[in-house]
Structure 1
Amino acid sequence: MNGRERRADVRVQLPRRVAFVVLRAVSSSDAYANLLLPREIRRAGLGAADAALATELAYGTLRRRGTYDAIIRMAADRDASAIDPPVLDALRLAVHQILATRVASHAAVNESVQLAREEAGSQAAGFANAVLRRVARDTPGDWMARVGETARSEDERLGLSSAHPVWVIRAFRRALAAEGRAEELASLLEADNVAPGVTMAALPGLAAPEGESTPHSPVGFRLGGGDPERLVRSSEGRVRVQDEGSQLVALALTRLSPVAPGERWLDLCAGPGGKTALLAAEALAGGALLEANEVAPARAGLVRRALDAVPLDVEVHEEDGRSLAADRAGRYDRVLVDAPCTGLGALRRRPEARWRKQPSDVADLVPVQAALLDAAITAIAPGGVVAYVTCSPHLAETAGVVREVRERRGDEVEELDARAALQAVSLTPLDLPEPSDGSLHAQLWPHRHGTDAMFLALLRKRA
């Protein structure tokens, strides 16, 4: 028998196989689980219950990968990096089932051993079997206590227990402390580890919410059940999946003041197009003109498809946003800068991102973010407004960028009250404390608002 031999008496159930395929793609080719998993579920023809199981297995394993690797290291007496990657993913999948689900341990062990056998042969299967039976002998509490004893600091211990890298924990603590809410860190980390429900947006003037209204966004709703993608398709995109925080920050710009017919708007970093479609619907209702820009051709294609739902002629550019905005000085009345960022505000939706991102990513992104915001200010007419948005609460990407650009532009711009703008569009009051530096920006949080951690700052060019 060769290295990919199989045993006929062990059959890997489809939900586990789908989850494993996703884990392998994330590990080997930096795939995005939230994009790949739905395709694999459809390809396997999974029903609702099996699809839910595959989703829990894939997302749960990815979410707590760091913690599971520490447990595997102890059970295998070798570092996770020394284990063949396919075998390591099979071990991670089994450890999640053994320690965090109601799946019977013998089923988790046997099927993950079979996955290891299929990927790497009988010797790897024997190794996986020994490791997993060692894990299954002790309780989750025992393993967490044991792993905690290996921590070299309180932050490392918290990182192992909450499955967050230490640098992310420290960034979150600083962002919360800037609002005088550092004591909320544990609640935030816990919220990051809870799978969020699906939130929908009905494009205003083109569709009506079809389920339970969201607590804050006037265009948001939640389905009681069923396939959201089927609803998106049947509505021809006029109803779409979109986090409530994303809806709120877009509406804060479009509804900041009454729209004057003929206003010119720009979505500077538009891909993949969710906020662009919402802006387009708002522009259509108010008589405004909208342009969009996305430098990556594939993502620009997604923007165009998103805009198909709105009967408005929107030109989609494919240029570097910095040069495009700078070349159109004084042309626009409202500009959205949904800046490329680390995405640390959406870890509950993209669980693999917490292990993929590094502090160096922040250092690389901040100059780009500042340049985009600076160019957007150049592009607006006197009296025009720029909304600077990130799906990250990291202070360097949020308040730090705004502060740097404001210092560079001097008295040319003034900061508007983003918290008041969000309150004005929200259906219910939002808990938005004033930052300790006295600035007027706003930060949404998963644990406090049930949204992704979206940041919003509003800057107006003085007339």
Structure 2
Amino acid sequence: MNLARRVAYETLRAVHESDAYANLLLPREITLAGLDTADAGLATELTYGTLRLQGTYDAIIADAAGRATEDIDADVLDALRLGAHQLLSMRVATHAAVNETVDLVRDTAGKKATGFANAVLRRISERPLAEWLDRVESAARSDDERLGLRYAHPVWVIRAFRRALTAEGRADELEDLLAADNAAPGVTMTALPGLVDAPADAEATPYSPIGFRLAGGDPERLVRQASGRVRVQDEGSQLAALALTRAAPIRGGERWLDLCAAPGGKTAVLAAEALAGGAALEANELSPIRARLVRHSVSGVPLDVPVSEEDGRDRAGRGRYDRILVDAPCTGLGALRRRPEARWRKSPADVPALVDLQRELLTAAVDALAPGGIVAYVTCSPHLAETAAVVADVRRSRGDALEELDARAVLASISPREIDLPEPADGSGRAQLWPHRHGTDAMSITLLRRR
């Protein structure tokens, strides 16, 4: 059996059995298996491609098997998903995809399951993906369910995306967004401002003035050589940090706080900006393990950044700050390109508790602002309950004590190129980034100033 397929399979099993994160586990498994560049690429495509399209493949497998996927043993089902991806979305010969997958089933589930797996895979191989899509979509009970099958998104996510796009008058972009979620994102990097420059042959990112893409070579090697002053970071994350630091001129002696700091990419950008502007930065992260990631992330910046490990709702009140970043825990629906399993792991039932936490964190941050201080409320989700509604609730509770800044204007002043950020229907200053429109994660950015 090909070792790359085994690595992909074991990663899928860990994702489904132990709620592992593929983006954290897969690189470690590739290293442990000693895969060369070609096999590492194969394992990556098998893992991420299968997870992205899992809902579609499950519908196809159920049709081919004549039974619901819930009635198929979990270890066999993950193997069938890998086989379906190879048969329908990769240039893998049918005999290789079928034989390798059947061997995988034999090794993991026993010989008894191989006949069933072989039969299902043979049926799947009889039609190309386009025909399978037409077939499974014909059983859809609504347009949203049809879109969910075609683009492998849960219906509740599709509806949340439609509402968010409609708020901008852009509902017609929905299918472009769903397609963008299923495309592997390119590697975007940042050079921490004032500390290091991007390589001379790198391509500058269109919107972030500190971002770049390599013309070639190994990004991780560059990260190691730069001692933490160059890092892999989505352009949207860069813009979220810069929106706070560049919303107003920095005055020497300002105090800043990154309230929910892990894994620390935005913290590092804040640290570099604080160093240049003569500000002090503190960071906080509840999880001790994730707090260590933050400390490592800022280690390349010659600035003392104390990292506390407290509940942000309690931590924020210990001081008065001129700028606070609240990069709140959220559904992560804006990063489905990078964490494809999130679309299957989250449910509408997760949203209310997250919204309560987001509201409490933002309220605590607002109360910790010094007069004239600014808080950036950021979520990697476009869900209106997590974005516009949270901000509206907090503003309502604080009356005239808060004013909203125009985050879209701030991003426009930062960006080297014109950036398409339509005004939301509610007339707020919120900026919403999108994978299909900007090539970034779907970051929502709101800026509030305390009067």
Q: What per-residue deviation string (whole Å, max 9, x for no partner) do you get for residues 126-169 of structure 1?
A: 11011101111122222111101121111101100010000000
Give the alignment's TM-score, normalised by structure 1: 0.96
Q: Within the alignment, does 1:246 sit opposite 2:237 as a pair?
A: yes
Q: Following the alignment from structure 1 to structure 2, what is the Cα–Cα distance between the partners of residues 184 and 282?
A: 35
**Corresponding position: 1:301 with 2:292:** yes
Trace 1:314-393 onto structure 2 (pairs within 5 A).
314-328=305-319, 331-393=320-382
Describe the superposition over 1:162-196 as per-residue Cα deviations: whole angstroms up to 9, x where unpaired.
10000000000000000000000010001000000
Q: Distance in 1 between matches of 2:397 and 2:25?
A: 42
Amino acid at match of 1:392: S
Partner of 1:261: 252
1:178-217 aligned at under 5 Å gives the runs 178-210=167-199, 211-217=202-208
AA of the residue aligned to 1:132:
L
Return the alpha-carbon distance in structure 2 between the equivalents of residues 358 and 267 of structure 1.
Answer: 28
Deviation (angstroms), 1:229: 1.7
| Residue equivalent to 2:209 | 218
Determine whether 1:43 maps to 2:32: yes
Matched, 1:93 2:69: no
- Aligned counterpart for 1:29 among listed residues 18, 22, 34: 18
- Structure 1, gaps ≥5 residues long: 1-11
Q: For residues 3-47 of structure 1, what are the alpha-carbon distances to aligned partners after superposition, in whole Å with 9 as ceiling and x for unaligned?
A: xxxxxxxxx112212211211111111111111111122222222
Give, in angstroms, the shift of residue 224 of structure 1: 2.1
Secondary structure (helix, strand or coil) at the match of 2:304 reads: coil
Tell me whether 1:77 sits opposite 2:66 in the alignment: yes
Once the two structures are TM-superposed, the CA of residue 358 in structure 1 deviates from its matched residue by 0.5
Which position in structure 1 is the counterpart of 2:430? 441
- 2:3 maps to 1:14: yes
Q: Distance in 2 between matches of 1:204 and 1:215?
A: 16
Match of 2:138 in 1: 149
> 1:272-301 deviations in whole A, cap 9, x for unaligned?
111001100110011100000001111001
Percent identity between matched residues is: 70
Report the 3-state secondary structure (helix = DSSP H, G, I; strand = E; otherwise coil) of the residue aligned with 2:216. coil
The offset of 1:326, in angstroms, is: 2.5
Partner of 1:8: none
- Tell me the secondary structure at the aligned position of residue 361 of structure 2: helix
Distance in 1, Cα, partners of 2:264 & 2:219? 17
Partner of 1:237: 228
Q: Which consecutive residues of structure 2, in runs of 5 or more, have no partner in the other structure?
A: none
Structure 1 residue ranges (4+ consecutive) displaced by more than 6 angstroms after TM superposition: none
Paired letter, 1:48: T
Describe the SS at the equivalent of 1:458.
Answer: strand
Distance, in Å, in 2 between the alignment partners of 1:207 and 1:29 is 39
Match 1:59 to one of 25, 48, 51: 48
CA distance in 2 between partners of 1:109 and 1:140 (Å): 16
Equivalences, count: 449
What does residue range 92-111 of structure 1 map to in structure 2 within 5 Å? 92-111=81-100
Could you tell me which amino acid in structure 2 is paired with residue 27 of structure 1?
Answer: H
